[in-house]
Structure 1
């Protein structure tokens, strides 16, 4: 039995961890450091951030035998082969970009749905310089929806974990670096952002042909002694212009929708070359940057996050969980007899209903960051318990946007916990029926309903609801396939895909009659998920294989086999009924699969692709409905009539 082809939900789950739940590192470089990199790469328009940004994705740009050790809240150390980071502009620059596009009081949309549709249509064009194969289009859609560097008050995932200053060893003095740090700390950050949690780090760039390594080590010691900041040395080997050892890296690596839209607009305004969309770096620099980024993450970033989590857990979370801490928390709210100075501090720690935020010094903001950082460090179970705890405080304070965001993270962390391997060689354990009922009826369904109401009705930002629908549907699909329980969440997955499609269609209402790449991709995903939504028990899954005609040989006892061998074949045993009608599929599967429903979704997807003038891809999708229909030629069957959808598609493909 032929299963429809599609993107594995495990791959989508990994994409989520690599592009959303990872630390954000802001980068600021001096002019001299930029000049040094421009000389190294023979490109006068290059910046340090452009060079660093791709190397945060250590899934693609990795060192040999790459390993990252992370210790969770239970003091259990696990080793991971990947721990990507996002290199972004400095926090003041990010704040200015987002504040200029919308007023600070109004929550900005995560992404532009119109721009997303435009980008996907551009990626589908073979003539486009950034064209993608069709099997990668859904991954691109998912990545664009979940990728954002927008800083918001109710979510700390996009708050920088570290601030990196890239300086030139030859020209930038200690006083220059001190001024950079002081100016950064004196910036008027939002009241909800805690700057003391940042790891300040220095990347010292130098020409290895002019300076000895011992001198650079001495310089790093001065930085640690005088400024109390850690540092990493980055040696550059100046190359000759005729050197051919270069690597090419895309400038749009992990780009947001806004960044890719700018690239498309440039492509339409002028003829872009490969140099406009790719960086050309010396191979020696490529090797050095991979090594130094790995060293920074392993030696500085992960230990810094682990240390902060231990401090917050001991000083803030543990007292809050205790019965005594809960009693005094209620007493302070009901019987506040503090002095004026204590009262001011208490007011700062509470929710600001006028401006809709928690102050940076409040325990609620620290606990939210504790949960987010635990999720980044893949301690999903601890993150879920922390989200669930702080959600109750948000509800008491009627901080609805915080409640909605935390409910979404509760669902995500819970589903990631269920599908996380217990150890490197131990797969996750399948939950029992009571746990599954609680996950669905007590957590997922009410939380999704509430957060979608908050984002759509209270805040008028439907893109947050769209992202929640898509992420939860993919995680449920991954969980159902992993434990062979797709029937538990099949209707829920379909419902969330359809809600996501409905929100997008309502936004693109003026072009509702026109074909959409987003709609076609979601129809395909609905077809894929429906084909996996079968009721076949695990021990009978062999019936779903393509060679289901060959039945496994039955096991018989030895004495039974001997009797059968001794028995002489009679004329009745040799009789074959030539008129007998054989089933074209095992009777045991009747009513247990959803291939006809899957085929219906794929037919709707093919209709969209036909209207998008992509006949070649429609021919490829025909294989996904071959289990239910004859697709090689027109037949006399009812489904090939001219008024039926499949008949229309076959006629247009002629």
Structure 2
């Protein structure tokens, strides 16, 4: 698997005399409509365009969160189908479907619990292998050792590695690898991918995307539990109907985790080989499939033969998978970087897009809507009623002291395995809330999470309780209702605080605590106003949690400044803006980037922070600024002041401005000489003490 960001790939060597013929005419993306005859080289030139504009501070973080929690579809196919996919240059059939599921072409219509239909043009699904789901489970948490079946080493040795997300250490390693490449090219951002705007994306967005990619399988949430399963065979099989039955039975016998329900939708796909088999015979077999297995079937027509190359007349480039785990992308960088770009014939790409879209719109979404309606009517309505509330109160107030210290006999929670059975009302309601969240019915999801918070607290199911608190806060923000300061202080803040406390203190789940805070920060930040200030507060909480390494710590420090930057002031004087606070956190981030030798990122932070302090007369501020600029490779502060004085003098600046600048210049020059003298006489210890004094002076200036 190749890296999701092409800037890390070795740039191809072009023959002397210009661009190679292979990449001149026929390269185009398969995400464009198949009837279009317009060729595009934008994806090629975007990789080397160093002058493209940076992304705005208000990137579509809400869309990023919505695309993170989507239905998961397992894939369980016959060997002949995987062989057909390998002939086309893919690892297996799942690997060929996955890029087209991450961003479904066209609009997807979803009906909420009130019967109101809404359309979405950014919907997607995640394809995973059913055997990988069986081999995953919740075996580790961030900070623990990674199991060997999920390691990159096994995948490199030819094994079928289970690339599972949820490791903050691997995300740190990946971002650091991208930054090292960017430092070599003197870049401060990454080329945009197919699932992002036309701007380059920041390293923080890469960090956040990898935190939210490939959510680990866990009993306390069902976002990674399969909603449906693709069962496929091909026309190369002598008995395709029997093969589908065997696949159904073998999939049911897989050792799936006990907390995972097997009542998911089965979707049957019959792959026809256009170059080897007769379409009439395949059509007859497909009609038999629909009689045996129902209407959830699809006939996919693919051409056989070797893998397509970009020089073919009808070849289209397969979009790179963007929602992969950090472990899988690291493996692609270290081992598969030299593999050619994956391509498909135009007709094959159109067929895969059609099967993914039809499966999602016609089968998966209606299946989820029916499950939501059934569970809401049969399970949640009882919990909302008087009898359900009485049972909940009786379990809380009328249980004996011995039953409070141990799991109550009436509770469905298994304290030994720390999970609920899939058939229990609590597990079904959690799946109901997650299904409503994935189909973007935020109000229903929030109401169910609210009910579950009390039940999980009574059962002392702390990880379930933390997850319900997390998703209740996130779904409430996503509802779009007005979040007054009272709602944020009395409702959202306690939810986030309790969620982080349960994740960290009771469950040692640092990854989930970090994910909870980062998602809340982004959703609050884009609302602006007082919500942006609270987003900065929660970002500081995530920064001080020490759940990440030095790279993540610096990224979150820089993000605190971005939260204050989005706060707009009132009137011509911009009263109420947080310009100085934003500049302070940018300067602190610049110092942290210097500690990890990321000079380009440090200079980028200084670009945003220096204008706010350029006219300051505080000596400590100037000393701290000059130190950072020298360490990051900037021109000394004295030269900047001289340039500014010359520009103002040339523009006819007044004598008062000139005198002020000369005074600041003399103070800065004196401070610089003093710092240098102390450094030469006393050594590095005194220099470090002066730096700390300058930083404390900066903080005192901000407090003023």
* TM bin (shorter chain): 0.7 to 0.9
**Equivalent of 2:216 in 150, 162, 169:** 150
Aligned equivalents of 1:119, 1:302: Cα separation in 2: 34
Partners of 2:109 and 2:117 within 8 A in 1:
yes
1:370 Cα deviation after fit: 0.6
2:133 alignment partner in structure 1: 94
The 1:348/1:95 distance shift into structure 2, 3 A limit, reads: farther
1:355 alignment partner in structure 2: 417
The 1:214/1:448 distance shift into structure 2, 3 A limit, reads: same
TM-score by length of 2: 0.70
- Verify: 1:118 aligned to 2:173, yes or no: yes
Aligned equivalents of 1:99, 1:113: Cα separation in 2: 15
2:634 alignment partner in structure 1: 653
1:352 Cα deviation after fit: 1.8
Alignment map for 1:599-638 (pairs within 5 Å): 599-625=583-609, 627-630=611-614, 638=618
Partners of 1:349 and 1:359 within 8 A in 2:
no
Alignment map for 1:91-490 (pairs within 5 Å): 92-98=131-137, 111-126=166-181, 132-133=190-191, 135-171=201-237, 172-196=239-263, 198-211=264-277, 215-228=281-294, 230-238=296-304, 243-249=312-318, 252-266=321-335, 272-275=337-340, 278-327=341-390, 350-418=412-480, 431=482, 436-479=484-527, 481=528, 486-487=529-530, 489-490=531-532
The 1:533/1:641 distance shift into structure 2, 3 A limit, reads: closer
The 1:101/1:606 distance shift into structure 2, 3 A limit, reads: closer
Describe the SS at the equivalent of 1:233. strand
The 1:648/1:38 distance shift into structure 2, 3 A limit, reads: closer
Aligned equivalents of 1:617, 1:332: Cα separation in 2: 55
The 1:457/1:334 distance shift into structure 2, 3 A limit, reads: closer
1:389 Cα deviation after fit: 1.3
Describe the SS at the equivalent of 1:456. helix
2:62 alignment partner in structure 1: 13
Aligned equivalents of 1:87, 1:162: Cα separation in 2: 10
Partners of 2:268 and 2:296 within 8 A in 1:
yes
Aligned equivalents of 2:97, 2:569: Cα separation in 1: 48
1:628 Cα deviation after fit: 1.6
Per-residue Cα deviation, 1:370-419 (whole angstroms, up to 9, x for no partner):
1100011110011101111122222222222111110000000000002x
1:144 Cα deviation after fit: 1.0
Per-residue Cα deviation, 1:603-624 (whole angstroms, up to 9, x for no partner):
2222333445454454444442
Aligned equivalents of 1:391, 1:610: Cα separation in 2: 44
Aligned equivalents of 1:332, 1:461: Cα separation in 2: 28
The 1:617/1:216 distance shift into structure 2, 3 A limit, reads: same
Partners of 1:641 and 1:647 within 8 A in 2:
no
Partners of 2:233 and 2:243 within 8 A in 1:
no
2:647 alignment partner in structure 1: none
Number of equivalenced pairs = 542
**Equivalent of 1:499 in 511, 535, 541:** 541
Partners of 1:349 and 1:362 within 8 A in 2:
no
- The answer to which of 208-217 and 372-381 deviates more is 208-217
Aligned equivalents of 1:616, 1:187: Cα separation in 2: 50
1:85 Cα deviation after fit: 0.3
- The answer to which of 118-127 and 396-405 deviates more is 118-127
The 1:191/1:273 distance shift into structure 2, 3 A limit, reads: closer
Describe the SS at the equivalent of 1:166. strand
Per-residue Cα deviation, 1:336-380 (whole angstroms, up to 9, x for no partner):
9xxxxxxxxx97972223322111111111111111000111100
Q: What stretches of structure 1 of length at least 5 have no aligned partner?
A: 337-345, 419-428, 509-515, 544-587
1:281 Cα deviation after fit: 2.6
The 1:46/1:102 distance shift into structure 2, 3 A limit, reads: same
Aligned equivalents of 1:594, 1:334: Cα separation in 2: 48
Describe the SS at the equivalent of 2:271. strand
1:166 Cα deviation after fit: 2.1
2:157 alignment partner in structure 1: none
1:559 alignment partner in structure 2: none
Aligned equivalents of 2:478, 2:397: Cα separation in 1: 38
Over the aligned positions, Cα root-mean-square deviation in angstroms equals 3.5
Describe the SS at the equivalent of 2:91. coil
1:526 Cα deviation after fit: 1.4
Partners of 1:5 and 1:528 within 8 A in 2:
no
Partners of 2:55 and 2:202 within 8 A in 1:
no
Aligned equivalents of 2:514, 2:493: Cα separation in 1: 15
2:667 alignment partner in structure 1: none
Aligned equivalents of 1:99, 1:332: Cα separation in 2: 29
Aligned equivalents of 1:494, 1:333: Cα separation in 2: 37
Alignment map for 1:22-33 (pairs within 5 Å): 22-33=70-81
Aligned equivalents of 1:623, 1:329: Cα separation in 2: 57
Partners of 1:642 and 1:648 within 8 A in 2:
no
The 1:318/1:97 distance shift into structure 2, 3 A limit, reads: closer
Aligned equivalents of 2:275, 2:101: Cα separation in 1: 27
The 1:111/1:78 distance shift into structure 2, 3 A limit, reads: closer
The 1:349/1:617 distance shift into structure 2, 3 A limit, reads: closer
2:158 alignment partner in structure 1: none
- Verify: 1:83 aligned to 2:123, yes or no: yes
Partners of 2:165 and 2:327 within 8 A in 1:
no
Per-residue Cα deviation, 1:592-642 (whole angstroms, up to 9, x for no partner):
221111111112222333445454454444442354244xxxx99656977
1:206 Cα deviation after fit: 0.7
- Verify: 1:598 aligned to 2:582, yes or no: yes
